[in-house]
Structure 1
Amino acid sequence: MSNDDITLTAGDAQVTVQPGNGGRIGGLSIKGAQLLRQRDRFGCFPMVPWCGRIRDGRFRDGATVRQMPLNSPPHAIHGTARDGAWRTARTTPDEAVITYDLVDPWPHSARVTQVVALTESSLTLTMSIETYQDSFPAQIGWHPWFNRTLGGTDVELDFTPAWQEERGDDHLPTGNRIDPKPGPWDDCFGMPDGVDVTLTWPGQLALKVTSPEKWVVVYDEQDAAVCVEPQTGPPNGLNTLPRLVTPLEPLEATTTWSWTRL
């Protein structure tokens, strides 16, 4: 039950899992090329028990209004689990299972489990939130920082969302759905048939990010990296589109990254 880094290998693909650093994926290298931006705050971190920003850090939990710390003033952002140390439940050469027990400031007891499964051509991340006590609203998502440049070529993004969530001046969805606009983006998109976004580094690699979930945030306002974030609801979703975790029904989500060498 340590939280030391874990290395998974399948063919020429290698993944570093960092339970002690917020349960994040610290690296994904394919044939020696590192796809994820390095350093402690990057890689790919889990967004749980909420994704993106909560307006003013407040959300309705039954009859109670909860206040989360304003770690991105005036909002609370990206959940609490990325700031904690996760534990390793089990590992094999190509799979790791890590867990995190939600603690204060989150008001409910629950266990988050993340399964990281690597093959020669794909990485699948599966996350669940389980409780044996009271029910509560929650979200699950992933926040990967993909390197913009690979082998000297810049990434190209290709996706066809059904709509874009109109973004207010406070960076939160207004509730209006609009036709997708050209980037640069820090925006949430709706893909009702499931998230499907392809990142292509011409001459190097094509990486497809898929998920049965219907929401994806795309962020490409940085020179160093682009983010493609599948999630179970939009930003501020604890208020606008809550998903309940109950003792009978955990919240579960999955995303797969599959790649083709060009």
Structure 2
Amino acid sequence: MRDVSRSPARPPAAQPATRSAAQLAWLDDPEIAARLVTLSAGALRAVLAPELGGALAAFYEVTPEGPVHWLRPAFREAFEARDPLRMASFPLLPYCNRIRDARFEFDGATIDLAGNDPRFAHALHGNAWRHPWRVGARSGNAVDLHFEHNPDASVTGDWPFRYRARQRIELRDRALHITLSAQNLAGRPMPFGMGHHPYYPRTAATRIHADVQAMWHADADVLPTHVGPHPAVDALRAGMSPDAFDLDNNFSNWSRVATIAWPDEHRSLTMRAQAPFDHMVVFAPANDPQLCVEPVTNTTDCFNTVGVRDQVGGCVLEPGEQIEAALSWTPHRE
């Protein structure tokens, strides 16, 4: 029996070429380009779409043969639909992945997030990706993006805690660095988790390398049932093909280093994360071109899931408390 069914929450995307200038044609559209922020450092480029959930639209390298895409670039349709789910990556706050039935109990009250998006039966990825982010300090190779959430009681399913978040996005040392931070602005404790949601080019030769300890098995709604062994754990340590399993699963207690490799193209991308990004999601559905390896601070449905803290993750931010942690993606070419 397989561990999960294909998630209905993540729309299929066309297979992206790993080296294609056509994927970036939207950069030549003045209307789209005017709303983007492009960072450069040497041959590396990172294109941000602040208005679309503070998302990353592309991360690539300029070469004489054309751009080499290190993340799956956005398609023009993503901009036309204003859909962060079709971007190269986007931030996840104030929780990652799903909350069962869009509700949970916290501090003696029921937090009801139902009704804010009829596409999904379960609350998905928090709310920061659904709103524009403001551009702050900016240079040629770095930018700060800011988001502040003020609860609105008239909005069905709105996150009921006030908070602010920041992304510091920078190209340096031949790598992409993203520092995520958040502060609880509410006058009461706030449950919290965060992460980023990168999509990678997926080919027949792609391999994922990561040292993980266990996998959260999931039900048909891609919600966790129990943590334990699975052949994917050993496969990831050896270098797993995205086609090996039908996955949309959390892995606990990883080493906070993962490498996505394209050995036939003689290149790889190493992702590193600081604590508390102690959990990793692999989304590699069968018969689908999508591939995500996501650094997150909490497992799916962490506010409802019963288990030891280091397996479930997430935290509670006290009033005024802040949290900050960094991620990086370093390309390697032979």
Q: Which residue does the alignment assign to 1:157?
A: 208
| Matches of 2:267 and 2:174, distance apart in 1 | 11
- Larger mean CA deviation between 25-34 and 175-184 belongs to 175-184
Q: Which residue does the alignment assign to 1:51?
A: 96
Which amino acid counterpart does residue 270 of structure 2 have in structure 1?
K
Q: Which residue does the alignment assign to 1:206?
A: 268
TM-score (norm 1): 0.90
| Matches of 1:69 and 1:35, distance apart in 2 | 35
- The answer on 1:175 being equivalent to 2:212 is no
Structure 1 pair 180–173 and aligned structure 2 pair: CA distance change class (3 A): farther
CA contact (8 A) 1:140 1:252 kept: no
RMSD of the TM alignment (CA)?
Answer: 2.0
Higher strand share: 1
187, 191, 195: which one aligns with 1:141: 195
SS in 1 for 2:291: strand
Q: Which residue does the alignment assign to 2:258?
A: 197
Number of residues of Structure 1 aligned to a counterpart in Structure 2: 256
Structure (1 or 2) with the larger CA radius of gyration: 2
Please identify runs of 4+ aligned residues in structure 1 that moved more than 3 A.
69-73
Q: Deviations over 1:190-244 (max 9, x none)?
A: 135x322111112242101121221000011163331011000100112334411
Higher helix share: 2
Q: Which residue does the alignment assign to 2:291?
A: 226
CA contact (8 A) 1:130 1:246 kept: no
Post-superposition offset of 1:248: 4.3
Post-superposition offset of 1:246: 2.0
| Matches of 1:69 and 1:25, distance apart in 2 | 27
Q: Which residue does the alignment assign to 1:101?
A: 148
Q: Which residue does the alignment assign to 1:28?
A: 59
SS in 2 for 1:56: helix
Q: Which residue does the alignment assign to 1:84?
A: 131
Q: Deviations over 1:146-170 (max 9, x none)?
A: 1214xxx742111221100111232
Question: Unaligned stretches of 5+ in structure 2?
Answer: 1-33, 79-85, 152-157, 233-243, 306-311
TM-score (norm 2): 0.72
Give the percent of matched residue pairs that are identical in Structure 1 and Structure 2.
27
| Matches of 1:253 and 1:106, distance apart in 2 | 22
- The answer on 1:10 being equivalent to 2:41 is yes
